[in-house]
A and B are shown apart, each in its own frame.
Chain A
Amino acid sequence: MTAEGPPLELLLHRLAETPPDFLTAPVIGNTGAVHTAAVVNDLLRMHGAPDIENGIAELTNSQDANRLRLALVLSWLLADETILALHRPPGEVLAAVLTGSAELGGFVQARNAVDNGERREEVVRTTLEKLSLRPLGENESFARDRLTTLSTAERTRVLAASREAEARARAIREALAKKAAEESADKWSRE
């Protein structure tokens, strides 16, 4: 976060207006509609990449739909003209997409990255941080503290939900295991 980037508000506004195409299902195997690697490649060309970056294969091979959708959202964000004007090396931009989407993927649903105010801010700040940037007008310690606050709260919430989900799954498994086969309820026919 050593350098100042664009104003936070401007990027939050851009994220809130992410076109629906960037939230379309990414291609995984035979399903989905948008090739994430192709979109990211377009972004890198906008940042001046002459060739396809090697690291992009990570997106082609990923089976994680949410991570791929976040990569699409980050591609939209990083195509803002204020970021293009910074002339960052394409390799750094790609690294920001890859590490940003991977890091956020476990905690932030792509849809929330656009629709939810706090998650939008987390996504913008995380993406800037991957480029060693902080929002315009903020000092480094404030920017770091704010990102930590946002991400810690979300991780705590997600981990609690995950523990709750695991407890319920365990209860369901135990409930099913306790019921003796067919000592259940009347069906008029059997399969």
Chain B
Amino acid sequence: MNDAPPSDADRYPLITGRGRAMLKFLREHPAAPIYRNESGNRLTADDLSKVSAFDAEVAAHAPAWSPGIPPDWLADFIASCLRDVPRYRSYGFTSAALEDLPTVSRADLSRDIAEFVPDPVPIDRLIQFSTTGTTGHPLRIGSHPTVAAGYLSFHRRALRHFGIELTAGAGETAVVLVGFQRRCFTYVSVTPQMNEAGLAKINLHPADWRDPGDRARYLDALDPEMYTGDPVSFAELATLPLTTRPRALLSTSMTLLPGLRRQLETHFGCPVIDVYSMNEAGPVAFSDGITWHLLQHRMFVEILDESGNRLPPGHRGEVTLTGGFNPWLPLLRYRTGDHAALIYQDGQPQLTGLSGRPPVRFRSTSGEWLNNIEVTHALGGIAISQWTLHQAADGSLTFHCAGSPDHQALLAALTGLFGQTAAIDIHPGAVFDGKVIQYTSRLDPLSQSS
């Protein structure tokens, strides 16, 4: 293991003159932001051929299984986990039906991730992705440059659903990852599988720019084929006087309400694709606005109740994952903490009613219990990027949200749900830094109260 900080040769092993020119352009443009960090693709020639093969495999295979008929790869995957992964080997089985195996939680991964790394995989080029999440279990995930590069294959699958094939190549900017927070990891890179097209990870927060007006000037100069980000950073992006337009926006990390999605689609004139993604599993599904289409052809999804029993199609419970594309972290019944129902449409498994974290119950003035997903639905038509709702022990509600959405529309949505006499305090202009616990209630004993 090399203790020296990575060099450009480590970060971009395959870089050519074109790639260097792209990095120079991204870093040294007169309107460029203050790039605070460095990173790279780290792909070797051997890696690149594996990434290309994986891309073709993803394009050729859709996730497919039927109720009661698991996918054909599952039994071998379970057997390899039970044989090669120290944690799973400790179960004492050499083969087993999936439903007979214990589940694994984020807390288990957080306790000792090394137990989940299979014996046969080399660790000399291990990389890591850290995440704090909102559950109090910080995670350090073992991964590899080919796994990181594999994200693009799933993005392409999602984009294809909307009729988009990425075409950026040499001398062009393929993607800009936009953040909008006080502190953000920022850097530039090139993507070898797209002929060294540029990649920039930037922070739209004015503190990262010499002049806030540079933001639009820089992004127009880059003219990226696609932006990825979250509802908060996209809401900020939409305030910039850009003259260029991307072919797609890809949103992760936070709930994207239909109202904001429509507003962004109108503003940018392109699809805005909501992707359900997590460090532990990568991109799992994307939304077509109605249901969530699964992305990974070697990922099996179960929906479990609180006791770990598998629920039938159409019943909402915890999304539990088996499989994945990270050989350094094979998942065997990983309980994500997110909730949804599994349905089958045209023979394909899909998710509906997806929401992060366990459900929180709120009480309306009539005494009716409401699931938090009903709140999300009620807010669906309003263009807000981030919000929290808390119910106090006396039933009163406090709503904080970013930006300045239509107060009357918000109040109407919430009173429509909770009752005309509900005590609701609305606080626009809230500043959030990163992910938040969106729903809390003193009335629901299962809820984490703020």
Partners in one complex: yes
Where the two chains meet, the residues of A that have a C-beta atom closer than 8 Å to any C-beta of B are 24-25, 28-33, 64-67, 69, 109-111, 165, 168-179, 181-191
Q: List CB contacts (< 8 Å) of B232-272 with chain A.
A: 250, 252-253
Are A179 and B94 in contact (CB-based, < 8 A)? no
Closest Cβ of chain B to A134, distance in Å, is 29
Closest Cβ of chain B to A187, distance in Å, is 5
B42 at interface, CB cutoff 8 A? yes
Are A189 and B93 in contact (CB-based, < 8 A)? no
Q: A30-B308, A184-B127, A188-B151 are in contact. Are A65 and B114 (CB under 8 A)?
A: no
B391 at interface, CB cutoff 8 A? no
Q: A65-B92, A179-B128 are in contact. Are A31 and B102 (CB under 8 A)?
A: yes
Cβ contacts B154-192/A at 8 Å (1 or 0 each)? 010000000000000000000101010000010001010
Are B92 and A32 in contact (CB-based, < 8 A)? no
Q: A189-B277, A189-B283, A191-B278 are in contact. Are A182 and B102 (CB under 8 A)?
A: no
Return the contact of A169 from the options B38, B91, B112, B199 (Cβ within 8 A). B112
> Which of A30, A182, A183, A190 is most buried by chain B, counting CB atoms within 10 A of its CB?
A190
User: How many angstroms between the C-alpha atoms of A54 and B232 in the bound complex?
Assistant: 61
Cβ contacts B413-446/A at 8 Å (1 or 0 each)? 0000000000000000000000000000000000
User: How many angstroms between the C-alpha atoms of A10 and B368 in the bound complex?
Assistant: 67
Are A186 and B252 in contact (CB-based, < 8 A)? no
User: How many angstroms between the C-alpha atoms of A177 and B128 in the bound complex?
Assistant: 9
Closest Cβ of chain B to A166, distance in Å, is 9
Are A185 and B177 in contact (CB-based, < 8 A)? no
Cβ contacts B201-214/A at 8 Å (1 or 0 each)? 10000000000000
Q: Which residue of A lies closest to B94 (CB)?
A: A111
B365 cross-chain contacts in A, Cβ below 8 A: none
Closest Cβ of chain B to A179, distance in Å, is 5
A173 cross-chain contacts in B, Cβ below 8 A: 112-114
A178 cross-chain contacts in B, Cβ below 8 A: 1, 3
> Which of A31, A65, A175, A187 is most buried by chain B, counting CB atoms within 10 A of its CB?
A187
Additional 6 contacts, C-beta under 8 A, given A181-B128, A190-B177: A33-B100, A109-B94, A111-B94, A184-B127, A185-B143, A186-B39
User: How many angstroms between the C-alpha atoms of A170 and B114 in the bound complex?
Assistant: 8
A182 cross-chain contacts in B, Cβ below 8 A: 37, 39, 129-130, 185
Are B93 and A188 in contact (CB-based, < 8 A)? no
B279 at interface, CB cutoff 8 A? yes
Are A186 and B40 in contact (CB-based, < 8 A)? yes
Q: Which residue of B lies closest to A180 (CB)?
A: B5
Q: A30-B307, A176-B140 are in contact. Are A185 and B102 (CB under 8 A)?
A: no
**What class of interface size applies to chain B in its complex with A?**
35 or more
Return the contact of A189 from the options B39, B131, B252 (Cβ within 8 A). B252
Are B127 and A174 in contact (CB-based, < 8 A)? no
B86 at interface, CB cutoff 8 A? yes
Return the contact of A183 from the options B38, B117, B145, B175 (Cβ within 8 A). B38
Are A185 and B149 in contact (CB-based, < 8 A)? yes
Are A184 and B308 in contact (CB-based, < 8 A)? no
Are A172 and B126 in contact (CB-based, < 8 A)? yes
Are A168 and B177 in contact (CB-based, < 8 A)? no
User: How many angstroms between the C-alpha atoms of A189 and B308 in the bound complex?
Assistant: 31
Closest Cβ of chain B to A46, distance in Å, is 26
User: How many angstroms between the C-alpha atoms of A118 and B277 in the bound complex?
Assistant: 48
B288 at interface, CB cutoff 8 A? no
B373 at interface, CB cutoff 8 A? no
Are A30 and B177 in contact (CB-based, < 8 A)? no
Are A174 and B1 in contact (CB-based, < 8 A)? yes
B386 at interface, CB cutoff 8 A? no
Q: A29-B308, A186-B39 are in contact. Are A191 and B253 (CB under 8 A)?
A: yes
Are A190 and B94 in contact (CB-based, < 8 A)? no
Are B309 and A30 in contact (CB-based, < 8 A)? yes
Closest Cβ of chain B to A35, distance in Å, is 13
Q: A172-B123, A176-B128 are in contact. Are A183 and B91 (CB under 8 A)?
A: no
User: How many angstroms between the C-alpha atoms of A190 and B37 in the bound complex?
Assistant: 16
Are A185 and B148 in contact (CB-based, < 8 A)? yes
Q: Which residue of B lies closest to A179 (CB)?
A: B128
B123 cross-chain contacts in A, Cβ below 8 A: 168, 171-172, 175
User: How many angstroms between the C-alpha atoms of A64 and B90 in the bound complex?
Assistant: 9
B311 at interface, CB cutoff 8 A? no
A28 cross-chain contacts in B, Cβ below 8 A: 102
Q: Which residue of A lies closest to B115 (CB)?
A: A169
B37 cross-chain contacts in A, Cβ below 8 A: 182-183
B28 at interface, CB cutoff 8 A? no
Are A169 and B148 in contact (CB-based, < 8 A)? no
Are B252 and A184 in contact (CB-based, < 8 A)? no
Return the contact of B86 from the options A30, A69, A165 (Cβ within 8 A). A165
User: Lowest 3 A-B CB distances belong to which pairs?
Assistant: A66-B92, A184-B127, A25-B100
Q: Which residue of B lies closest to A177 (CB)?
A: B140
Q: A172-B117, A186-B148, A191-B252 are in contact. Are A31 and B101 (CB under 8 A)?
A: yes
Task: List 5 interface pairs A-B (beta carbons < 8 Å), by A numbering.
Answer: A28-B102, A32-B100, A183-B39, A184-B128, A184-B148
User: How many angstroms between the C-alpha atoms of A184 and B112 in the bound complex?
Assistant: 20
User: How many angstroms between the C-alpha atoms of A171 and B124 in the bound complex?
Assistant: 10
Cβ contacts B29-66/A at 8 Å (1 or 0 each)? 00000000111111100000000000000000000000
Are B142 and A176 in contact (CB-based, < 8 A)? yes
User: How many angstroms between the C-alpha atoms of A64 and B91 in the bound complex?
Assistant: 8
B96 at interface, CB cutoff 8 A? yes
Closest Cβ of chain B to A64, distance in Å, is 8
Are B309 and A186 in contact (CB-based, < 8 A)? no
Q: Which residue of B lies closest to A64 (CB)?
A: B92
User: How many angstroms between the C-alpha atoms of A171 and B122 in the bound complex?
Assistant: 11
B117 cross-chain contacts in A, Cβ below 8 A: 172
User: How many angstroms between the C-alpha atoms of A30 and B42 in the bound complex?
Assistant: 44
Q: Which residue of B lies closest to A28 (CB)?
A: B102
